[in-house]
Chain A
Amino acid sequence: MTSSRRQFLGTAASTAFASALSLRGLDAFAAEDKIKVVGIYDLSGGLDIYGKPVVDALRFAAEEINQKGGLLGRQIDFIHYDAQSNMQLYAQFAQQAALKNKPAVVMAGITSASREVVRPVLDRYKTLYFYNNQYEGGVCDGNYFAAGVTPAQTVQKLVPHAIRKWGKKVYIVAADYNYGQIVSSWVKKYAAEAGGQTLAVEFFPLDVTNFGATISKIQAAKPDFVWSALVGGAHMSFYRQWKAANMAGKLPIASTTFAGGNEHIVLSPEECNGILICQNYLQELPGAANQDFVARFHKRYGADYPYITELAMGAYQGFMLWAEGVRRAQSIDRVKVIAALESGVVIDAPSGKVGIDPVTHHCTLDVHIAEVRDRKLNLVESFPQQPPADTAAVCDLRKNPNDAKQYTIKF
């Protein structure tokens, strides 16, 4: 007859086994002279279209540095976790990175949701954190560096350009989460400043694929152009249904999120020709530095690599900025590296000059307006060295170096 003693032993044994396995810190005994860098991104689940190029770019950056002799003479060990588009795993892997791997820096998170899960964990366990893609701005945290663009850099340039080119009335369709909400507010603001008018804003959760009703509503409203802040694989259906309803080419679209997930490759040219985007990086940027980078990247990953996205370049730049900080500090100690990064690190990246602004820990970078044409992004206009003005309005890490929260920029 079974007794609860056996069950207890069974439970205890399995729990102990599980914890012993997770306790096994093999890394603790690993080669002491490797510098660890941890990446936590989504390689499966709904957000993997963004995650994979980012991880590829980080691995490429680590290998590049290693081939040139490493950082401070030590090789870089790039460890990465697949968070599978799951917030619980983001939290667990952030804890695992900070407490077990103890890396010199963690690069993690695509969406703001994942960033805000990871950031408090890394703050608490004192691990340096780089967040490398475009977002809504406003995070003010001494332990955090943002290598991506924010709306004051891209939206501010594209809205007046679109109004000048197409007309004053804009209809906004956006992803329904805080990034989409905030970008829509910025578009409304800049449209008003340029003499334009926002007819309506519609929000769509990330898994919506049915845009038929919306397309009819847009036609009823008669805007001059549509602003899209749609994000993710499911939202690509908007462009498909747009073309199916014969609207492609009839009503122009502007977006700062399009192309971040290879939309211009996945969709057919008829579905997206003519869309104007504004990003920090385009694979097609002229200039020797970029051509060289693309050639090396293709050598590593194959010439049929779909596209080097802006998020991938953001990750590469973030990595290079951190490496430069380490060189300046001559150490991987977190406090020393932060001080070095705050001393004004500037690098020559394939996208142009990228420099860390010490007051906000965000980056000053070039932005480019481009037109989507036949699966390529053709450069239209460049704006060099845009400062992170939106975050600067709410964040001053010189005055409050211990600040650690995200502010909503009010205007």
Chain B
Amino acid sequence: MQALAAIFWKGVKHHVRYPGEFVIFLLLPFLFTFLILGMGTAIAGGNASTYFAARTGTTNIVIYEILGSAVWMTSWVVIEDVGTAIRDEQIKGTLEQNFLAPVRRFTLLVGLSLTDVVITAALFLVVVGVSVAVVLPSGFLTIIPAFLTLLLGLIPLFGIGFLFAGFVVRFKEPYIFIQIINLVFATLTGTYYPVTFLPYWVQLLSGVLPQTYVIEDMRRIVIANQTLVNLYGSVFILLALALAYPILGYAVFRRIEKRASVTGEFSKY
């Protein structure tokens, strides 16, 4: 527990020391939403919300897009933090010290993940909280079940982060890799549109990503006033993914890590 708390606080201190990064993550959902809204208005003129509603079932463009943006940003933070954590330690020359400490690798990864729970919670509450309070004040309390959905969705996301942490140890070059992965996730999970817009075979890929369900559920909860009980189907899928991804991610990470210990891969960058 002490080790876990130490890793957690180390991560929090890092974020506090570089507040600019957090501010950018706070602003990006608003900026992307504004861009989509601006482009949409330019194309559809005064009928923007009518055409939008015909495809999404809601005229509340801002909330629809901001929910997608917020989930995308939380996913970006998790993949970037957990995925590049090992690589960052490698570059700083502190990886060996960490790995020599009598702490399990799993504790190390979970500690990093706990930091991200705090960061993403703050991100969600500021971005979605402010947007709902301004645009849809009557539905403000719906952000509580929406937040619970996010928390549930974070567990499989951390598993995906472990997976990338392993790949990054193996293939290096994390930043461009993470950028592409984040873009692929944004495209596949329906960040700014329903996933039904995508070709059928692409929708199959969307179906294995937790963010797809988180975004869809949040939209139903906040915009369509549905409850988590109504959405039990996707909640069960999220629970299943929450079990599968961390196990898979950690297994892959351990395998690559063991191999790297034998080949001396850790010292190369």
Bound pair (A, B):
no
**B contacts, CB < 8 Å to A:** none
